[in-house]
Amino acid sequence: MELGLRGKRALITGASKGIGYAVAEVFAEEGCHVDMASRDPAVLEEAAQKIRSAHQVNVRTFAADLSKPEDRARLVEACGDNDILVNNAGSNPAGALEDIDDATWRASWDLKVFGYINMTRAFYARMKARRDGVIINVIGTGGEKMDANYILGASGNIALMGFSRALGGRSPDDNVRVLAVNPGLTETDRAVTMLQTWSRTQFGTPDRWREALASRNLPFGRMGTSREVADAVVFLASNRSAYTSGTVVTVDGGNVNR
């Protein structure tokens, strides 16, 4: 399917690995130029080089901590005219209310919740001025199927889902689309870390995370893949999904119903 993305430019945050890298790779496959942002410049450049060597598109990298206003400002200045923004930077640690201290709570929300919101505010203003653009927030199903042992992430995800729906319901007035994708448990390094936390809660040790995974009765007997999430993100960003805004698309194999 031709998605009409050839020659456009997308910024993906948290792009050095996992879902963010997969999103950048799929955009590049579609002929879209990509800007990749992440905190670790060495890992980021290695990831970008893989895409450059495989696809005839322009790839730029930006080492940035999006919890810092100065890094956000620098990124907006360099990429503010992009056609597409994919907010993907940030991860929230698992843990119950009593496990998470104030510093962890604030640092996590500064990067993911306020990072998404502030990036969206900056890019939306530019997209509104030129009456064109798409913003996709990659959030997570922790905001759909709440778990007290993932209370920080669940709370933040709920906030970002509401933010995406509220803004995306109005944004067509400015000819801009805003929407979100909620990945379920996806096969990434971060997923293993979360499974280790669940294993510690369930079995008293992080080493039995594979048992913790099996006990979750996942659809199709497996986690999702980063590529499966990325395919959804890129399709939604394309003109093939031009009548989609203000919605949250769940990519979890149907697990929210279990």
| 16: containing domain | 9-257
Whether residue 122 has pLDDT greater than 90: yes
Residues of the chain with pLDDT > 70, as a percent, come to 98
Question: Residue 199 maps to which CATH number?
Answer: 3.40.50.720
Q: Would residue 175 count as lying in a domain?
A: yes
> Greatest CA separation found in the chain?
55
The reported pLDDT for the residue numbered 206 is 72
Q: Would residue 110 count as lying in a domain?
A: yes
Residue 127's identity, in one-letter code, is M
Tokens of residue 200, six digits:
């510690």
Asked if residue 189 lies in contact with residue 14, where contact means CB atoms within 8 angstroms, the answer is no
Q: Would residue 224 count as lying in a domain?
A: yes
Four-point Cα dihedral 61, 252, 248, 161, nearest 10:
-80
Whether residue 195 has pLDDT greater than 90: no
Tens-digit pLDDT profile for residues 25-70:
999 999 999 999 999 999 999 999 999 999 999 999 999 999 999 9
The number of domains in the chain is 1
Whether residue 215 has pLDDT greater than 90: no
DSSP state of 178: E
